[in-house]
Structure 1
Amino acid sequence: MSPTPDNDHPLVHARRRGGLSQQMLADRIREAGHRARINVATTKKTVSCWEHGRAPDGVTQRLIAVVFDVDEEARQATPWPYWLPGPDLPELYRPWTAVGTVAVLDDVLRSGRMDRRKFIIVSGVTLTALLHDWLTANPDIAHATARGGRRVSASMVDRIEARISELQRDDDAYGGGDLITEAEAHLSLVHQLLAHSSYTSAQGARLHAQAADLARMCGWMAFDAGRHATAQRYFNAALRAARTSGDVLLCANVFAFAAVQHYSVGNPHDADTMIRTAQVAVRGQSTPVVDAMLSARQARALAKAGDARACYRALNQAVDHLAAGHRDNDPAWAYWVEQPEIDMLTGSCLLDLGRPRDAQVKFTEAHASYGDGYTRTRALYLSRMATAHYQQGDLDGACQTGMQALDLLDTLNSPRSNDHVRDLAAAMNHHGAVSVVREFRDRVAEAVSPFQR
Structure 2
Amino acid sequence: MASSTVTPPRPDRPPKPNLAFRQLRGQRSPAEFAALVRRAAREIGERVSCDARYIGRVEAGEIRCPNYAYERVFLHMFPGRTLTDLGFAPRASVRGRGSRAADDAPCVHTASPAHTIGEPRRTGETHGAYEPYDTQNTQDPYDTHHNHEESDVLRRAFMTGGGATVAAASLGPLGLAPHASAAERRVRHAGASEAAALEEAVRRIRLLDDRHGADGLYRRAAAPLRAAYALLDAGTTRQTTADRLHSGAGELAISVGWLAHDSGRFDDARSHYAEALATARMAGDRALEAHAFCNTAFLARDAGRPREAVRAAQAAQRVARPLGSARLMSLLALREAGGWAGLADRAGCEQSLARAHAFYERGASDADAEWMSFYGEAELAGLEAQCWSTLGDWRRAARHAGRAADLQDPHFTRNIALYTAELADDLARGGRPDEAAVAGMRVLDLLDQVQSSRIQGMLAGTARVLLPHRRAGGVHEFLERHASAPRKA
Corresponding position of 2:416: 378
Corresponding position of 2:457: 419
* 1:261 to 2:293 alignment: no
Deviations 1:233-263 (A, max 9, x none): 1111111112223221221111111211111
Corresponding position of 1:16: none
For residues 351 and 439 of structure 1, the distance between their equivalents in structure 2, rounded to whole angstroms, comes to 25
* 1:320 to 2:358 alignment: yes
Match of 2:403 among 365, 381, 389: 365
Deviations 1:138-177 (A, max 9, x none): xxxxxxxxxx950213222112212211211221111112
- Opposite residue 230 of structure 1, the aligned amino acid is D
Asked whether the 8 Å contact 2:324–2:367 carries over to 1, the reply is no
Match of 2:222 among 176, 184, 187: 184
Asked whether the 8 Å contact 2:388–2:396 carries over to 1, the reply is yes
- Cα gap change, 1:448/1:321 in structure 2, threshold over 3 Å: closer, same or farther? farther
Deviations 1:362-413 (A, max 9, x none): 1222221110111111111111111121123211100000111111122111
Count of residue pairs brought into register by the alignment: 304
Q: Quick one: percent identity of the two aligned structures?
A: 29
- Cα gap change, 1:285/1:329 in structure 2, threshold over 3 Å: closer, same or farther? closer
Corresponding position of 1:305: 343
Corresponding position of 1:343: 381
For residues 288 and 484 of structure 2, the distance between their equivalents in structure 1, rounded to whole angstroms, comes to 40
SS at match of 1:283: helix
By relative contact order (CA 8 Å, sep 6+), the higher-ranking structure is: 1
| C-alpha deviation, 1:202, in angstroms | 1.3
For residues 237 and 473 of structure 2, the distance between their equivalents in structure 1, rounded to whole angstroms, comes to 65
Corresponding position of 1:397: 435
Asked whether the 8 Å contact 2:202–2:255 carries over to 1, the reply is no
Higher helix share: 1
Asked whether the 8 Å contact 1:205–1:244 carries over to 2, the reply is no
Of 156-165 and 270-279, more deviation after overlay is shown by 156-165
For residues 237 and 444 of structure 2, the distance between their equivalents in structure 1, rounded to whole angstroms, comes to 47
For residues 287 and 205 of structure 1, the distance between their equivalents in structure 2, rounded to whole angstroms, comes to 20
**Structure 2, unpaired ranges of 5+:** 1-172, 174-185
For residues 485 and 280 of structure 2, the distance between their equivalents in structure 1, rounded to whole angstroms, comes to 38
Of 394-403 and 384-393, more deviation after overlay is shown by 384-393
Corresponding position of 1:80: none
* 1:432 to 2:470 alignment: yes
Corresponding position of 1:250: 288
- Opposite residue 405 of structure 1, the aligned amino acid is V
For residues 226 and 325 of structure 2, the distance between their equivalents in structure 1, rounded to whole angstroms, comes to 31
Aligned CA-pair RMSD:
1.8
Corresponding position of 1:206: 244
Deviations 1:344-374 (A, max 9, x none): 1111111221221122221222221110111
| C-alpha deviation, 1:294, in angstroms | 0.2
| C-alpha deviation, 1:197, in angstroms | 4.0
1:17-166 alignment runs, 5 A limit: 149-166=187-204
SS at match of 1:295: helix
Asked whether the 8 Å contact 1:292–1:317 carries over to 2, the reply is yes
For residues 277 and 237 of structure 2, the distance between their equivalents in structure 1, rounded to whole angstroms, comes to 22
Asked whether the 8 Å contact 1:376–1:412 carries over to 2, the reply is yes
**Structure 1, unpaired ranges of 5+:** 1-109, 111-147
- Cα gap change, 1:253/1:336 in structure 2, threshold over 3 Å: closer, same or farther? same
Corresponding position of 1:352: 390
- Cα gap change, 1:390/1:194 in structure 2, threshold over 3 Å: closer, same or farther? same
Corresponding position of 1:39: none
For residues 277 and 483 of structure 2, the distance between their equivalents in structure 1, rounded to whole angstroms, comes to 38
What is the TM-score of this pair, normalised by structure 1? 0.64
Asked whether the 8 Å contact 1:173–1:374 carries over to 2, the reply is yes
